[in-house]
Structure 1
Amino acid sequence: MKYLFADRYLMTLLESDDCVADDVDTCICASPSIFAEACNNEMYIEIWNDFMNRSGEEQEKVLVYLEKEVRKPREKANKCKDKRIEHPAYSPEECYQRIQRSLRCTLKRRQIPMGTLEVLEEEMLSFFSVSPESVYIAMMENSYQRLLLHAVCQYMDLASASSNFEGKRQMRVVNRKWCFCPPELLLHPTSR
């Protein structure tokens, strides 16, 4: 019963806040808020009263349960959905266009060691397919292999960076997305 009086008191406060104009004749009342609708809905009031009559421990359990229920759709949305078929950004042409122009020219001009390219692509595929949120780190002294790995990473929409580490060149590769969806076609010709 005391909750009913509290609800009515809050409703009167809400109604008085709806009018903000000085002149009553020009008062524009807002549409009822979700709170006002909840206060007028008997089912919501009953649920609220039931919640308030529970112990603090029971209330906490209810809140944890509701939070998990809210997270479920988000978790489902965050799971890797293969969009390569329906989204043009995953086409081989678009993936190739992600590669920097200078790297594309290098890939076209030079005699590319396809075995090296294949190994690098397979390594990125196997690593990020298993653990898409991990960081791939490799010590690579060969500058041409680093160049090829940068091209592979750009093609697969991965972020790569070279840096000095204890006098050697280190490559770090990360996936900037929640999941890893590699292109349908890879750069090395045996995947075609």
Structure 2
Amino acid sequence: MTDTAAPAPVEKIRKRIVSLDQFRGYTVAGMFLVNYMGFFVVCPVVLKHHNTYCSYADTIMPHFMFAVGFAFRLTFGRRVQTEGTASAYMRVVRRLLGLVLVSLIIYRVSPIAQTWNELKSIGVWDAIAGPLKRNWFQTLMHIAVTSLWIAPVIRARASIRIAYMIFSAAAHVV
């Protein structure tokens, strides 16, 4: 008589995408390099931002945003499978609103105007648009706003995401 006991269930180990981790590490190292080395007097020109050509510094933020978006889609899909759609969306919204709060704390929102007359002279449009273009709208805020913007279509099929991208580009121009 043979004892054919079923093997104990092995917990499925989630594999990380090593190349994505390496790419994220590279972009973080690049951020330190261009954000801190760029202020030194003796620094290669390519590490500084220029309006005349695309320097190394100009490539770091898009690389980081790509890595964040790629990882966001992977982890969100996994979370929907394990926790359900509503729970996954609530978790994303909570996390991104927390990121907005951290961004506001780190970069401090400055006042629009010091006096009422100054506020009246600015006008409604500039009073709304001005703060959006200030210093506090940095990397953390970009990640939070962009992630919130794409959250409705993050799991959609490619044709819907492409249509949403075209709509977003048109809305950005307007």
TM range (shorter): under 0.3
TM-score by length of 1: 0.24
Greater Rg over alpha carbons, structure:
1
Choose between structure 1 and 2: higher strand proportion.
1
Choose between structure 1 and 2: higher helix proportion.
2
